[in-house]
């Protein structure tokens, strides 16, 4: 009996640790919004949250980037996914990756198409607002969020997982900003196992 209780306690502790790991990797505020958008797909294992125009529309409305009842086409979906992957590319710079000209061009195009303008609210605070509606406007708001996120102190902590097949966006809360994989529990162990197998192969 004591063995079983210890085992259950261990499971519970592991569960709590995993929950904390997950929370720690999630950014808040505008950086959190950018992270949430990039992580609408798990590149490695799926699923894809933005699988069709309806799910894209639902996501954008839920995150107050678009009003409900707007027409969303397949072309809009393609545009939104392209912007998402361009943002992933730009976040890669925080992990020491090269930023590709195509990603830069995609983000500049999204800003242009949405007709982003600086607007001052009643309280005197400035923000970037798109003139375009629909998904084009929503992508403009996403670019504006990225613009604001880059000025946030948490920005450089937002990184891409070092695994080429994963590329999950995670918030690196380690003291010296040295985390390379999204969770040690999953990707870190996967990397370790791969290195172990490679060493074993070289050794044998």
- Cβ-contact 89, 99 below 8 angstroms: yes
- Cβ-contact 79, 110 below 8 angstroms: yes
Q: What distance in Å separates the CA atoms of residue 39 and residue 67, rounded to the nearest whole number?
A: 22
Q: Tell me which residue of 139, 2, 26 sits closest to 76, measured CA to CA.
A: 139
Closest approach, Cβ 178 to Zn ion, in A, equals 15
Closest approach, Cβ 181 to Zn ion, in A, equals 5
Q: What distance in Å separates the CA atoms of residue 101 and residue 152, rounded to the nearest whole number?
A: 24
Closer residue to Zn ion in complex, CB, 37/144: 37
Q: Tell me which residue of 81, 86, 27 sits closest to 59, measured CA to CA.
A: 81
Closest approach, Cβ 156 to Zn ion, in A, equals 19
What token pair was written down for 66?
């678009």
Helix (H) or strand (E) holding 124: none
Closer residue to Zn ion in complex, CB, 68/164: 164
Closest approach, Cβ 194 to Zn ion, in A, equals 12
Binding site for Zn ion (CB under 5 A): 161, 163, 166, 168, 182, 187
What token pair was written down for 157?
């902590």
Closer residue to Zn ion in complex, CB, 87/111: 87
Closest approach, Cβ 168 to Zn ion, in A, equals 5
Closer residue to Zn ion in complex, CB, 133/188: 188
Closer residue to Zn ion in complex, CB, 63/173: 173
Helix (H) or strand (E) holding 181: none
Q: Tell me which residue of 45, 120, 47, 40 sits closest to 80, measured CA to CA.
A: 40
């Amino acid at each position: 009996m004591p063995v079983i209780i210890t085992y259950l306690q261990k499971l519970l502790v592991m569960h709590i640790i995993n929950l904390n790991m997950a929370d720690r990797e999630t950014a808040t505020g505008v950086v959190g919004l950018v992270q949430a958008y990039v992580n609408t797909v798990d590149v490695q294992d799926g699923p894809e949250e933005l699988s069709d125009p309806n799910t894209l529309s639902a996501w954008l409305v839920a995150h107050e980037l678009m009003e409900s009842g707007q027409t969303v086409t397949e072309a809009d979906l393609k545009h939104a996914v392209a912007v998402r992957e361009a943002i992933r590319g730009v976040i890669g710079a925080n992990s020491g990756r090269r930023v590709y000209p195509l990603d830069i061009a995609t983000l500049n195009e999204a800003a242009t198409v949405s007709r982003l303008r600086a607007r001052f609210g009643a309280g005197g605070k400035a923000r970037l607002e798109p003139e375009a509606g629909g998904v084009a406007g929503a992508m403009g708001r996403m670019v504006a969020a990225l613009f604001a996120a880059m000025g946030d102190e948490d920005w450089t902590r937002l990184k891409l997982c070092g695994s080429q097949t994963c590329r999950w966006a995670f918030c690196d809360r380690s003291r010296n900003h040295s985390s390379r994989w999204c969770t040690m529990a999953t990707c870190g162990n996967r990397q370790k196992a791969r290195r172990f197998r490679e060493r074993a192969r070289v050794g044998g």
